[in-house]
Every structure is written in C-alpha cells, then in structure tokens.
C-alpha cells in the first residue's frame, strides 16, 4: 500500500477542504470536489477530468487498487487515514472515497429545434437545485440554465444531483440582459412559472417549438421585472388552500408537462 497520509496539513488535503467550503476557492482554482463511490464512478464514465483521487485506508482495503475500471494515468491517487477521511467528509458515514475534479469549460449554448429548457433564476437551495438537475436528466430535458442561483459546483448541489450533473447540459448566465438576449436571438418561447390565478394553467397552455420555463426563488418566486419579459406566465393549478409547492416539486411537474 502507498504511504498513508495522516496530516490535515498535507497540501492536497488542504486544497480539498478549501474547495469543499469556498465558492471563491473553487472559482480561483477551477476545481471542485466529489465524495462517494457512485458519483466518482459517474464522473469517470463521462470522462470528467479528475486530478486527484483520495481514498481512505479502509476503502483501499475494501475495494482494492483497481477500484475504478478507468484510465487514471493523469490522476494522482493518494491514500489517507480513516480518521482524516472522517475529518474531510461532508457526510455522517463516509465511504472514504473523494476526488478533486476540474470545472469544465462552458460550451456555447446550442438550442435544439423543439428543445425543452429550464431556467433556474435566483434559486438558492442546493438540494432543490440538485434535485431539479436530477429530474431534468431523468425526463430528458435538453438543458438547464442557472442564473443568479446557488453555486452549481458546491458539494451539496453536486451530491444532490447523484451524478446527473455529468450527463446534463447545464449553462450559467448571471447577466439577465444577456440571458434574454440569448433567448431572443434563438427564438425561444419563454414562460414564467408563477403563483397567480390569472396565469395560464400548465395543463392546458400547450408547449410548441423551442420552450424555456423560468423557475424562481424558493421564497420570493420570480422578480416582476423577469416575469413580465417572458412571453407568458404559467401556473400549476392547486386544490384547497394550498397555494405553493417546493421549487423542485414544481419544476418536476413543469418538466413533465414540457416533455408530454
């Protein structure tokens, strides 16, 4: 077995902890972190660039040296003590498998004919963002645009996507004017998801051509200045006294209707 690292002052361990806790550090280094066997496997399957693979002594003994059937020639593998693994873990019961991964260079947004897109505008809950990405992957949504939302590469978002972050077309555009310019140039029909009885009901409004639906902040919804710039406002009809849904649940219903 390779030399086992036990010190939290090891440069790679210090880097991992910086990336895990700080968006600023992630942007500065162009790196983010992964934790868990499944998500690291998903990253490798999608040819994501993993620079460092960090495995605890216990995980190394359990899974062996050939834990991943992948080309790891460009990946530095280090073995750490179980205690150090527990310290750097962001879960209660760690599997002892961690990785440092390069943030991919954002590609140009190419919109498919009759494509279906979701725009997360001002969404701040990492769990919601991750769940929406996972649902979009499951339903075959053509792309997600994140605008003024939580950090896509935070550990909580990455963990909540359960690997879908590597299989889904995700774009980031925080400039609202530029975002609408892109949508206009590409002739995207835009809908604002709102809580408003005057809005068009999602189950009868119909979706034809290229479509993008804006999902707003969990507590405040979409800013008025954003919703009025969309081609229309749509809403999910609800029974009884219920007047709102969790953002991820609402997005799931909207994506289902988009793909019908």
Give the start-end residues of each E strand in 61-197: 76-80, 97-102, 116-121, 143-147, 170-172, 189-193
Of 66-80, 109-123, 154-168, 200-214, the poorest mean pLDDT is in 66-80
Mean pLDDT, range 128-145, rounded to an integer: 97
pTM of the predicted protein model: 0.91
Tell me, what's the pLDDT at 66? 65
Nearest CA-CA partner of 103 in 173, 13, 165, 174:
165
Q: What is the distance of C-alpha 5 from the center of its chain?
A: 31
Mean per-residue pLDDT, 49-54: 94
Q: Is 5 helix (H, G, I), strand (E, B) or coil?
A: strand
pLDDT of residue 163: 92
Burial 204-217 (b: 16+ CB within 10 A, else e): eeebeebbbbbbbb
pLDDT at residue number 242: 64
Average pLDDT over residues 220-249: 87
Which residue spans within 20-161 are E strands per DSSP? Answer: 31-35, 50-56, 76-80, 97-102, 116-121, 143-147
* Residue 130 pLDDT > 70: yes
Average pLDDT over residues 195-199: 85
Three-class secondary structure of residue 80 per DSSP: strand
Tokens of 39: 């998500």
248/70: higher pLDDT: 248
pLDDT for 62: 85
In contact, 99 and 53? CB cutoff 8 Å: yes
Phi first, then psi: give them for residue 164, nearest 5 degrees: -65, -20
Which strand (E) or helix (H) includes residue 252? helix 247-259
User: Once rounded to an integer, what is the mean pLDDT over residues 12-35?
Assistant: 97
Q: What is the pLDDT of residue 2?
A: 61
- Give the model's pLDDT for residue 224: 95
Specify the pLDDT at position 108.
Answer: 85
Strand ordering across the sheet containing 76-80: 4-5, 76-80, 50-56, 97-102, 31-35
Note the pLDDT tens digit of each residue in 42-51: 999 888 899 9
Tokens of 73: 């020639």
Q: What is the pLDDT of residues 147-170, one digit of tens each?
A: 999 999 999 999 999 999 999 999
Six token digits for residue 201: 């009901």
What is the per-residue pLDDT for 165? Answer: 95
Assign 71 a pLDDT band (cuts: 50, 70, 90): confident
Least confident interval from 7-16, 70-79, 241-250 = 241-250
Angle of helix 247-259 relative to helix 126-139, nearest 10 degrees, comes to 20
| Mean of all residue pLDDT scores within the chain | 92
Task: Centre a 10 Å sphere on the Cβ of residue 249 and count the other Cβ atoms it contains.
Answer: 15
Distance CA 96, CA 85 (A): 6
| pLDDT at residue 131 is higher than 90 | yes
Closest by alpha carbon to 258, among 242, 234, 231, 226?
234
CA pair distance 101, 98, nearest whole angstrom:
10
1 pLDDT exceeds 60? no
CB 189 within 8 A of CB 241: no
- Name the residue among 170, 17, 122, 147 with its Cα closest to residue 80: 17
pLDDT category at 119 given cuts 50, 70, 90 is very high
Cα–chain-centroid distance for residue 18? 19
Q: What is the pLDDT of residue 65?
A: 60
Would you say 218 and 125 are in contact if contact means Cβ atoms under 8 Å apart?
Answer: yes
- pLDDT(182) > 90: yes
């Amino acid at each position: 077995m390779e030399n086992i690292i036990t010190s939290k002052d090891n440069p790679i361990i210090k880097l991992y902890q910086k990336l895990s806790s700080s968006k600023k550090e992630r942007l500065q280094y162009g790196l983010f972190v992964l934790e868990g066997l499944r998500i690291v496997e998903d990253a490798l399957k999608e040819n994501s660039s993993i620079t460092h693979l960090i495995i605890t002594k216990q995980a190394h003994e359990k899974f062996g040296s050939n834990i991943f059937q992948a080309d790891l020639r460009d990946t530095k593998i280090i073995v750490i003590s179980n205690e150090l693994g527990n310290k750097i873990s962001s879960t209660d019961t760690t599997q002892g498998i961690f990785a440092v991964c390069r943030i991919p260079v954002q590609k140009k947004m190419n919109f498919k004919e009759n494509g279906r897109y979701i725009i997360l505008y001002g969404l701040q809950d990492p769990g919601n963002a991750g769940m929406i990405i996972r649902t979009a992957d499951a339903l075959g949504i053509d792309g997600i645009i994140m605008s003024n939302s939580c950090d896509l590469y935070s550990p909580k978002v990455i963990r909540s996507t359960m690997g879908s972050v590597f299989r889904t077309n995700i774009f980031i555009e925080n400039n609202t004017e530029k975002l609408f310019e892109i949508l206009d140039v590409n002739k995207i029909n835009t809908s604002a998801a709102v809580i408003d009885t005057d809005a068009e009901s999602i189950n009868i409004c119909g979706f034809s051509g290229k479509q993008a639906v804006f999902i707003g902040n969990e507590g405040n919804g979409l800013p008025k200045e954003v919703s009025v710039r969309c081609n229309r406002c749509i809403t999910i009809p609800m029974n009884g006294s219920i007047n709102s849904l969790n953002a991820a649940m609402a997005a799931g219903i909207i994506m289902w209707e988009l793909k019908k």
